[in-house]
Amino acid sequence: MAYAVIAAVSVLIIACPCALGLATPMSIQVGVGRGARAGVLIKNAEALERFEKVDTLVVDKTGTLTEGKPRVVSLKPVSGSDEAQLLQLAGSLERGSEHPLAEAIVSAAQEHHVELSDASDFEAVTGMGVTGRVEGRELALGNARLLETRGVEAREWTQRAETLQAEGQTVMFLVADDQVMGLIGVADPIKETTAQAIRTLKEDGLRLVMLTGDNRTTAEAVARQLGID
């Protein structure tokens, strides 16, 4: 009798889990487990259920669509200077920062065998860049907004920066003692799997939106390459 009951219950669970209220919990466990193996963490059952109704997916750019390992691809020093000096000043200022763009600049300086100096009075300006002193010079490295706050006129350099940004580069201005020393362009390669993933999601009827804190022109260049908003 015991064996018969166990066999009967086993058949019931396998053939008709709804009868025992097991269908939904089992489905959730399987879904959450498969998602975790694919690197997708699901907060709870409600989130999993509501996800079926999603029609728009917002994705981050850096580290999601791109490799998250930016590297220096452009160096535009001011006339009378050179790339090594540009890297020496920028790398010395950024060597204490853990920001991915800072790491790219320091790595480029090391690849060019540029000897870096110590920086003092280092300060990160949210959404703009960094400032500090290197070898007695007051330095600032960041976007056009940082130059505006310091009253630095750089119309010619801004136009050159826009050209690089249209190519998908993140551009930083280096200023020493309120004089523009040049531009540094950094690019983050798109992952090899990104294009196919985007095509698959679009085929499933999802609208994709890229969200990034990068410059708008740079962001639009990357979005055009991938065919997303």
* Tens of pLDDT, residues 10-26: 887 777 766 666 777 77
Q: Which tokens belong to 41? A: 């963490």
Among 14-18, 79-83, 112-116, 225-229, the least confident range: 14-18
d(CA 32, CA 172): 42
Residue 185: predicted pLDDT: 92
* Residue 229 pLDDT > 70: no
* Confidence band, pLDDT 50/70/90 cuts, at residue 184: very high
* pTM (2 d.p.): 0.66
- The pairing of strands 71-77 and 119-125 is unpaired
**Nearest C-alpha neighbor of 23 from the set 13, 31, 32:** 13
Catalytic residue chosen out of the listed positions 55, 60, 121, 177: 60
Distances (CA, A) of 19 to 3, 8, 118: 20, 13, 71
E-strand ranges in the chain read: 56-60, 71-77, 119-125, 129-134, 137-142, 170-176, 179-187, 207-211
Mean pLDDT of 77-106: 87
In the residue annotation, 82 being an active-site residue is answered as no
